[in-house]
Structure 1
Amino acid sequence: MKYPIAIEEGSETTAFGVVVPDLPGCFSAGDTMDEAVENSREAIALWIEAALDAGETIPAPGRLADHVHNSEYAGMVWAIVDIDSALLDDKTERINISVPRRVLSRIDRYVSARGETRSGFLVNAALERIAHGC
């Protein structure tokens, strides 16, 4: 996926600012133009992850030609950021993991008492841990 980004030029005292018009509220910055573009990749990836986690639909990238003439972005420099489409892939994949039996037994008792599944529990636990940076 190739998302157009609008870059507000920086100076000696201000960073280069980046806006992603197709993803409302998605923005980034960098001390150099190259850094601003690279940081926008991370901002887009995080925006997409948060939207997917919230059950929202991800807007398709718009055409650069459609954004360039929008007066909201007058005077900005444009670039295209290529984002790995695997970020949008919610297809379930079977994996093989090793877990001590005593731990598996505790997981199974826990999820059974709550009407959950083992897989759902492990996915949610992993996402929670990732979200908290632990």
Structure 2
Amino acid sequence: MSVDAENSGVLEGRAGREALCTLVLHRLRCDAADDFSSDEPYITVNEEEVWRAVGVDPGDIRAVGVRRRFGDVARLMLYQGEFAADDLIGSRIVDSGEAGLGVRSACFSSATAQYVLEFEVE
């Protein structure tokens, strides 16, 4: 697997194929927090943590500004950092067929938390 030093993104997938698209994560909006105190959400792309925030409350919008290359599909996962075990808020599969469709939204929700992530596939 080779790494693009400029973008810190994977150029080849596990099967050794060239990456077809770039996933651009724009911003994350918190509609409902997981904890009584502020949340500490983080995002993974294909099981790699790519972004983390602290002190997120309902109504907050945080810039993400992450770009990652991927092949046919990328798996986005949003977690809430916890002391013991982190809580999975939700996941979404992003397909290379979404390239060129503009900014899209992924909704992540659990029993107590709700977030919306704006992203784009180039």
Superposition TM-score, scaled by structure 1 size:
0.29
**Larger fraction in helix:** 1
Larger radius of gyration: 1
Structure with the greater relative contact order (CA < 8 A, sep ≥ 6): 1 or 2?
Answer: 2
